Amino acid sequence: MAALLPSTPKERRAFRWSALALLAALPIAVVASSYEDVIEWRSSQELNAIVAAPSKSAVYAGAEWRLERVHRLNEPGAAALVVIVEFEATVKDPAVFAATCNVALTDASKRRWKPQFLAPSIGRRVRPEAVERPRCGSASLKPVKTGDKIKMAESFMTPPDIGDIDLIVSLSTARPAYLVLD
């Protein structure tokens, strides 16, 4: 049993060096084994905001983006407000632009509304030209070339008392950076 413990000065030195090496090896092992997962997690998150001020454009994910118009439509008797956002992107780098596009609407309280798959009926009646535009997901999947101006629209169902809203756009090629159109 006593042989398990370092007894000579040489053994003690080796014991100390091994203990120090273990202290360094453990964090290195953790970083090495989780590095790829962390990078993958980062690329699915929206962490760094690129903000376009009202009526200004911003460069993001191989395109210059601009918010055009926001329509707030209230169906009489309906509890929800339909918000249709029209926006455009001028393509600068088609390879970066052609990616999965996520869009959401947020307000000051940081609640997020995802877009409606089908435009609500009031949108089709009152703003047909807006709801006929492609959605961001389908627009970024079509082949595009440098200089193309792509006009898009998304519709949302929100509470009627919603205040200031921002449109959030994030493309898989540019995450963790994301775009906020004020």
Partner 1 sequence: MIRVLGSIAGLTAAIAILYSLQQTMPGYADITRPIAVHGAIGDRLMARNFELTATKVTLAQRIVLRTGTRERVFETTGLWAVVEAQAAARHESVTVTAASWLGPSGSRYAMSQRFPTMPGLLPSERLEPGLPRKVLMLFELPESQAKDATILVSRTPFTPIDNELHIKTNVPTPLFVRNVARITRGTTPGDWRLEIQ
Closer to partner 1 by Cβ: residue 81 or 96: 81
Closer to partner 1 by Cβ: residue 38 or 78: 78
CB of 109 to partner 1, least distance (A): 9
Q: Does 114 bind partner 1 (CB under 8 A)?
A: yes
Question: Are 165 and 105 a contacting pair, CB within 8 Å?
Answer: yes
**In the set 12, 69, 72, 111, which binds partner 1 (CB under 8 A)?**
111
134-153: which residues touch partner 1 (CB under 8 A)? none
Segment lying near partner 1 (by CB under 8 A), choices 27-35, 64-72, 106-114, 123-131? 106-114
**Is it true that the peptide bond before 76 is cis, omega within 30 degrees of 0?**
no
Q: Does 19 bind partner 1 (CB under 8 A)?
A: no
Longest dimension (CA), the chain: 90
User: What is the Cβ-side half-sphere exposure of residue 82, based on CA atoms within 13 angstroms?
Assistant: 23
Nearest to 170 by CA among 92, 104, 112: 104
Binding string, 117-136, against partner 1, x = CB under 8 A? ----x---------------
Segment lying near partner 1 (by CB under 8 A), choices 58-66, 83-91, 113-121, 146-154? 113-121
Q: Does 78 bind partner 1 (CB under 8 A)?
A: yes
Tokens 């997962």 locate to 37
**In the set 110, 145, 147, 163, which binds partner 1 (CB under 8 A)?**
110
Burial 18-55 (b: 16+ CB within 10 A, else e): eeeeeeeeeeeeeeeeeeeeeeeeeeeebeeebebeee
- Amino acid identity of 101? C
| The pair of three-digit structure tokens given for residue 9, joined into one six-digit string | 């000065």
Residue numbers at the binding site for partner 1 (CB under 8 A): 1-2, 4-5, 78-80, 104, 110-114, 116, 121, 157-159, 162
